[in-house]
Chain A
Amino acid sequence: MKEEILNKSIDPTVHDMLAVAEAAGLETVWERLEQQLPQCGFGEIGVCCRNCTMGPCRIDPFGEGPTKGVCGATADIIVARNLLRMIAAGAAAHSDHGRDIAHTLLLTAEGKGGGYEIKDAAKLKRLAAEYDIPTEGRTKEEIALDLAKAVYAEFGKQEGPIQFTRRAPAKRVELWQKLNVDPRGIDREIVECMHRTHIGVDNDYVNIILHGLRTAISDGWGGSMVATELSDVLFGTPKPVWSEANLGVLDEKMVNIIVHGHEPTLSEMILAAVQDPELVALAKEKGAEGINLAGSCCTGNEVLMRHGIPLAGNFLQQELLVITGAVEAIIVDVQCIMPSLGALSACFHTQFISTSYKAKFPGATHIEFHEEHAYDIAKEIVRTAVEAFPYRAPEKVHIPKEKVKLMAGFSTEAIVGALGGTLDPLLDVIKSGAVKGIAGVVGCNNPKIQHDYAHVNLVKELIKNDILVVNTGCNAIACAKAGLLVPEGAEMAGDGLKAVCKALGIPPVLHMGSCVDISRILVVCAAVANALGVDISDLPVAGAAPEWMSEKAVSIGTYVVASGVYTVLGVAPPILGSPEVVELLTAGAEGVIGGKFAVEPDPFKAAQLIIDHIAAKRRALGI
């Protein structure tokens, strides 16, 4: 196997498929990255500003050229403004997803949801209580209607608070209020990001970054949390479930359908549709043994967490799925979908189906998804997939055999359930030191880093050092493929963690869901902090995003830090052009907000940073 290909990933299915792609002359994300190199250094360090046509401006980092943009902005202003726009974009993605879920709940409550139901009425009531919505003697539709409206209102509010932010420990909320970063309304904060970064508005990098914290909080404790909580209400709160991950979950004898993107409103309906007897019969008529549904990226995580649907792969594998030649349809909604899929699908019989009016792609067949007719549209989409089966070219089919068992479904409720109903057992093992602390490891893939290398190695190092890992998103998929999400994975853990896992029958790495489900991790942190009577910033916890690439990740990292959690990034954000901004985010922030960033691409060194940090927190707590 060519060394070049081996170096791109640690996943053997990727090696396999890249060799196939090369032989077939198919371009993937890795080739495109190479063509882009060298990438512009001004962009890399964040000192390129295109916010007005007096520009585009660049600051010369070597000091010989211009040190100010045409308006007079210095590097720290430009870097901070660019960073704020990244936070805004990331928060917008998460929050808009939350808005869509709230909308679905509203329609369902009104009886107009085309096939949706309220599956977790108990959670519905708990959420209603947070909003002071009466629940006694009312139907779940009535409660849901009020809840949906109340949550919907969070988006358009002018004055805060956003209700879910009050789940944070009191000390944390006070700090936010003192710093004036307590969000006022989900959409308002994002709008203000755009206003502040317009030419001639906010030109103070500290002020800009503080608003960045506020916007991020309106995502993590706002939009994302809305998405998670209301998805649980509509589709069920995840419970531990078994499944499998990697390209080997595709089945040559079946119609293979991939759901890719982020919103469970689509994937849940596709799941229902693939079980429809009429469509199963049609599949058999076309020569298949049935319909095989698998997930990619976060929508894959959503249906995995709730239904055990297998995961075909993470972000960087989306093109490779198509190249297997065995996928009848890849059905997408929003976020992290590569526009290259159109041309790629055209080389096969694969139907590339877009469904969101917000997300259209070249070469895609657009079947627009409307919740009001959800099930019917889902059926139509699945039918299109099934009808593509006879056009599969057998000589082009190449499915790598690797697939790995995994256990997922660890919502906060499930974790508490596994612990016997309270967090006490967890607190006990943390106090005793059997489990030193908790690390949340999340985030995307980035072809600049050997695929899955940093994810898997960071997590392995952490569990070796008795740190319980909770994960989401593409990291969770990477760890699943590496065999870490099974109880047997505890063999790779240190003695303390190993014993705990064996006692509870859980893996040393707990899959908590999709990227918006990082809000679940915030809830766990809040619960533990409250139980111990401290702030989140006192906890022996840390966050990490070893291979991130998206703006969503910037927002996530920011809200995790804003919540008081030390966060290690494996890819440097574009801030190096301003030493002041770097200093603030990696040092100064700790004194202000109780959390800070570090950048460390080497997963082993990153692990050590986290291990040391957690040890220091333990000492400070006296445990």
Chain B
Amino acid sequence: MAAAQAIRELDSHGAITVLSAEADPPYYRPLIPFIIDRQKTADEIALLGQGPYTATDIDVRLDAPVTAVDPQAHTVTVSDAELLHYDRLLIATGSRPHIPPTIQGADTPGVYALRTLADARDIAERAARTQHVILAGGGMLNLKTAFALLERDLAVTMVVTSPEVLSQIMEPDGAALIRDALERAGLRILTGRNITRVIAGPDGVAGVLLDSGEELPCQIVCIGKGVRPNVEFLEGSGIHVDGGVVADEHTACNTPDAYTAGDVAVTFDPITGERMMTALWTNAVEMGRCAGRNMAGRPTAYTGTFGILNATQVAEVPFVSMGIVHTAGTDHETHVVRAANTYRKMVFTEDGERLIGAVFVGDIRHAGLYRHLIRERAPLNGLKAAVIGHRLHYGHLLRW
């Protein structure tokens, strides 16, 4: 949708068709936890007409999954039946939740992997006859889901494989303050454990069995164990897929007139230069807009994104994590400052010249300035002290 908006900003005539496998009109996916606790309705999270999505004249087709692509013929097949021709194609089929095969009984009713508005509705409906929810995984998605469920006065327990929550986006010392806030808010957190089996009862999920041997009763299980890109439909098409759809610097695929963006795309990390995939809304929108501009005939290079670029607030503790933040066992120069209610970590290259990662918990002021430094790989010159001291402001950048 971001690409469509970008195209429409540059080209008011061309026909734009968006093919969505979902039955719901496009929506702000990150807001679906609010459907669970009924703080937002489906209408309120609709994409079209909100925020920057002001373009009209975009044909959005629902329940229209693309099942095959023929880049030579410039066609796509919808639902194995309809053939559509394109001048330019954007593959932005996103990702789907990964269900670890080690969890037996994951197909029991009441087990969810929150991804779509439909999932959120189902959870919201089942929550009415639920007392206890178990969440598998301690990542951002499950955190937000947990809070939505706590809002509905359900007991919520999080089962985390790692020693601490949010292990994908920060190291344990950073997550400690967040963990405290979560527990104060009523979330029960069990670390260093995994779910091995879902126990079924007459109404679907009745409990789970952990590898520690503990058996916990529950009526809903939410799995948040990462995502996998939706690329199966491209098999045999000739479009280069390597984990995800491979994109060049201009978001283009290996075949002419085909582009890709979002969770399904393989892009690169500007800090390391390595290929990577991300599953973040901010990155998807940015890459989508870039793809849209390229598709509308305005070559725009995509400057890559960080693997970690997360911001949220849980239980009144805000946090931001960007770039390279896992430093154990590396030679990165690291500065950690801890206070009663705040934590921050700045990660620099080995020679200390450039900022490559930052974590802010509690006090997130000016985070964008630090993101700028990381992304631009800017030599810090005299700014390092201000960076470490969290005193950076725009004036510093202006006077460079």
- Which A residues have a C-beta under 8 Å from some C-beta of B? 2-4, 25, 34
Contact = CB atoms under 8 A, between A and B. Distances in A.
6 contacts: A2-B385, A3-B385, A4-B385, A4-B389, A25-B339, A34-B391
Interface in B381-397: 385, 389, 391
A25 B338 CA distance: 9
A533 B391 CA distance: 60
B335 to A, nearest CB: 10
A39 to B, nearest CB: 15
Interface in B366-400: 385, 389, 391
Contacts of A25: 339
Contacts of A4: 385, 389
Contacts of B389: 4
A2 B385 CA distance: 9
B8 to A, nearest CB: 44
Contacts of A3: 385
Q: Lowest 6 CB-CB distances: which A-B pairs, in order?
A: A4-B385, A25-B339, A3-B385, A2-B385, A34-B391, A4-B389
Interface residues of B, number: 4
Nearest to A7: B385
A4 B388 CA distance: 11
B contact face: mostly helix, strand, loop, or mixed: loop
Nearest to A25: B339
Interface of B: 339, 385, 389, 391
Contacts, number: 6
Nearest to A2: B385
Contacts of B339: 25
A4 B383 CA distance: 11
A236 B391 CA distance: 52
A608 to B, nearest CB: 29
A contact face: mostly helix, strand, loop, or mixed: helix
A4 B385 CA distance: 7
B217 to A, nearest CB: 45
Contacts of B385: 2-4
A123 B389 CA distance: 56
B365 to A, nearest CB: 14
Nearest to A4: B385
A260 to B, nearest CB: 29
A35 to B, nearest CB: 9
A3 B339 CA distance: 22
Nearest to B391: A34
Contacts of B391: 34
A25 B385 CA distance: 16
B384 to A, nearest CB: 9
A4 B386 CA distance: 10
B143 to A, nearest CB: 28
A144 B339 CA distance: 59
Interface centre among B339, B389, B391 (most CB of A within 10 A): B389
A234 to B, nearest CB: 49
Contacts of A2: 385
B343 to A, nearest CB: 13
B133 to A, nearest CB: 39
A161 to B, nearest CB: 55
Contacts of A34: 391
Nearest to A3: B385
A2 B389 CA distance: 12
A41 to B, nearest CB: 15
A147 B200 CA distance: 103
Nearest to B395: A38
A34 B339 CA distance: 19
A147 to B, nearest CB: 57
Nearest to B386: A4
A3 B389 CA distance: 13
A4 B335 CA distance: 15
A4 B384 CA distance: 10
Nearest to A5: B385
B362 to A, nearest CB: 14
A34 B393 CA distance: 13
A25 B336 CA distance: 13
B332 to A, nearest CB: 18
Nearest to A35: B391
A247 B339 CA distance: 28
A25 B391 CA distance: 16
A416 to B, nearest CB: 51
A251 to B, nearest CB: 33
Nearest to B339: A25
A156 B342 CA distance: 57
A28 to B, nearest CB: 14
A136 B339 CA distance: 71
B253 to A, nearest CB: 49
A2 B384 CA distance: 11
Nearest to B338: A25
A34 B389 CA distance: 11
A34 B385 CA distance: 13
A207 to B, nearest CB: 43
A3 B380 CA distance: 14
Nearest to B340: A25
A35 B393 CA distance: 13
A452 B127 CA distance: 69
A25 B337 CA distance: 9
A297 B253 CA distance: 74
B284 to A, nearest CB: 39
A499 B391 CA distance: 52
B398 to A, nearest CB: 14
B33 to A, nearest CB: 36
A32 to B, nearest CB: 14
B139 to A, nearest CB: 31
